[in-house]
A and B are shown apart, each in its own frame.
Chain A
C-alpha cells in the first residue's frame, strides 16, 4: 500500500528559486493538507483541501500556493523561496469527518540557502 507519497525527500534551494513539493495519495481521501514542522513549534497548517477544486488557507499560508485538480494530488508551490521557509514539510490525507485520523507522508526536508 503506497498511502501518501511525498517527493522529493530532501531538497536544497537558493533564495528566490521556486519549486513544487509533490504529494499523492491512493486512498481516495477527500481531505488533504500541508504542514510545516519547525523545532519547538509542532506542526503548523499551511493549506488544506476538502476536495478537487477546493482549497483554503491554514495558519501560515504566506509564500505558498496550492491547487487540487484531482482527488489524488495536492502539490505545494514555493514561488520565491526564502530562508524562513527552511523546514520539514508534511502532506497528510484523510476521509472527511472530525473523527478521521490523518495519514501522513514521510516528509520533505527543505533547506533554503
Chain B
C-alpha cells in the first residue's frame, strides 16, 4: 500500500522569506511520480510541481523547488521569496501505475506581512 505523510499541520513564514514543507511517502512501486498541489481559500486544487522518481535532479518551477531524497522517501517543497498569495493548504501526493493517487493530510501555510 502507498502512504503519504505530512507531519506539519501548519506552518508560518514571513513575506519574502523561504519556507520548506515536509512530505514523506512509502510505496512498493519502482516507477512513480510525486506531486505538490496548492489549495487556496477558493478551494481550487492547483498543481504546483511534480517530480519523476527515476530522475535524480530536483524539479523547480520559478519560486518553487523540491528536495527529493529517494532513499529516504522524502519529497519536501521549498518556497522562496514567499508572497501573500502563497497562503494556502499544500498537499503532497504520490501516483504510480495503479491509477490511484494517494494524498497526504496537508499543511496549512500562513504568510505573514
Chain A interface residues toward B at CB < 8 A: 31, 33, 35, 40-45, 48, 50, 56, 58, 88, 90, 92, 96, 98-102, 104, 106-107
**Nearest-CB residue, chain A, relative to B32:** A98
**Nearest-CB residue, chain A, relative to B47:** A101
**Contact of B32 with A41 in the complex, beta carbons under 8 Å:** no
Chain B interface residues toward A at CB < 8 A: 4, 6, 9, 31-33, 35, 42-45, 47, 50, 52, 91, 95-97, 99-106
The residues of A that contact B104 with a CB separation of less than 8 Å are 42
Q: Dominant SS at the A interface?
A: strand
- The contact sample of 19 A-B pairs, CB cut-off 8 A, is A31-B99, A35-B103, A40-B105, A42-B6, A42-B103, A42-B106, A44-B103, A58-B100, A90-B45, A98-B32, A98-B97, A99-B33, A99-B50, A101-B35, A102-B45, A102-B101, A106-B42, A106-B43, A106-B44
The CA-CA distance from A90 to B46 in the complex, in Å, is 13
**Contact of A41 with B105 in the complex, beta carbons under 8 Å:** yes
The CA-CA distance from A3 to B1 in the complex, in Å, is 31
The residues of B that contact A88 with a CB separation of less than 8 Å are 43
Other A-B contacts than A42-B104, A101-B50, 15 sampled, CB-CB below 8 A, are A31-B99, A33-B101, A42-B106, A43-B103, A44-B103, A56-B99, A90-B45, A96-B99, A98-B31, A98-B32, A98-B33, A98-B97, A104-B44, A106-B44, A107-B43
